[in-house]
Structure 1
Amino acid sequence: MRHILPALALVVGLSTPALAAYNGPSSGYGGFQGPTATVETNTVAKALKAWDDSPVVLTGNIVQRMAGSDDKYMFRDATGQIIVDIDYELFWGKTVTPNNTVRISGEVDKDMFEPTKIDVKLLEVIK
């Protein structure tokens, strides 16, 4: 017993600096810190020419629901129109009309035998 207490004090004394340097999982350190690329695809015209899975942020109007679909809509901005796929959960109970300006964020979805569309990940009502 008389050797255990000094040994324990030695272990605690030696491990304290290591614990002090530990940042933990909730620290603000780690990850990438540097410039962030901006989304260049910000119009329907650019989205129609973009690669599959390219990120897009578009501002415009949802003008109609596509026939026979619960989650496909026609989206229009000043440069053209494109089909957007919006899951009902993204509306968060908000009513959106063709008069509302919305911002959609998502990615281009190009399939072989279908028109290009946008898979929407975020829907914001601007006004």
Structure 2
Amino acid sequence: MRYLLFLALAALLAAPVSAAETANPAPGPKPSASPDGVHGTTGIVSTDTVARALNAPNKSPVVLTGHIVERVPGKADKYLFKDESGSLMVEISHEVFAGREITPESRVRLFGKLKKYPNKPLRVDVSVLQLLQ
């Protein structure tokens, strides 16, 4: 009987806390949808060209549209990506490629995160690769 009373009391005390969290969510960036349907976070600007990515802070989200022109020699999963504003290195795993045949003429859209390390070239870790028509 004491156990049931304890559970009932705990449920009554937790209800106002849960209602308050729903009414007043924790402060911070709110999820939002961009025009192309990709979900991002308000207050964090994603870069859309290589030129902007070169000047963006570490771990910035990026969405790049262009061409994967070649594999970087001696580097596993690293490729040279090029758009109208410049080129940079991208890292794309075999799982992200998903067996698709990509040529330098293939137009792609890459979604990923910018990685800047001291004394190393800038790169983008790609999480999604879209093959465009």
Distance 1:88 1:48 in 2: 25
* RMSD of Structure 2 on Structure 1 (CA): 2.5
Over alpha carbons, which structure has the higher Rg?
A: 1
In structure 2, stretches of 5+ residues that fail to align are 1-21, 33-40
Partner SS state of residue 47, structure 1: helix
Which of 68, 74, 78 pairs up with 1:68? Answer: 74
- The change in CA–CA distance for 1:81 and 1:34 in structure 2 (over 3 A counts) is closer
Which TM-score applies when normalising by structure 1? 0.71
Which TM-score applies when normalising by structure 2? 0.68
CA positional deviation for 1:59: 0.2
Distance 1:111 1:59 in 2: 23
Q: How many residues align?
A: 103
Residue aligning to 1:55 = 61
Distance 1:121 1:34 in 2: 19
Whether contact under 8 Å (1:106, 1:122) holds in the other structure is: yes
Residue aligning to 2:87 = 81
Higher RCO (CA < 8 A, seq sep 6+): 1
Partner SS state of residue 48, structure 1: helix
Q: Deviations over 1:70-121 (max 9, x none)?
A: 2000000000000000011101111000000000000110000101110111
Whether contact under 8 Å (1:39, 1:57) holds in the other structure is: no
Partner SS state of residue 46, structure 1: helix
Q: Deviations over 1:9-31 (max 9, x none)?
A: xxxxxxxxxxxxxxxxxxxx998
- Which structure 2 residues correspond to residues 84-103 of structure 1 after superposition, within 5 A? 84-103=90-109
Distance 1:50 1:59 in 2: 17
Task: Work out whether 1:125 is the aligned partner of 2:117.
Answer: no
Which of 36, 47, 52 pairs up with 1:46? Answer: 52
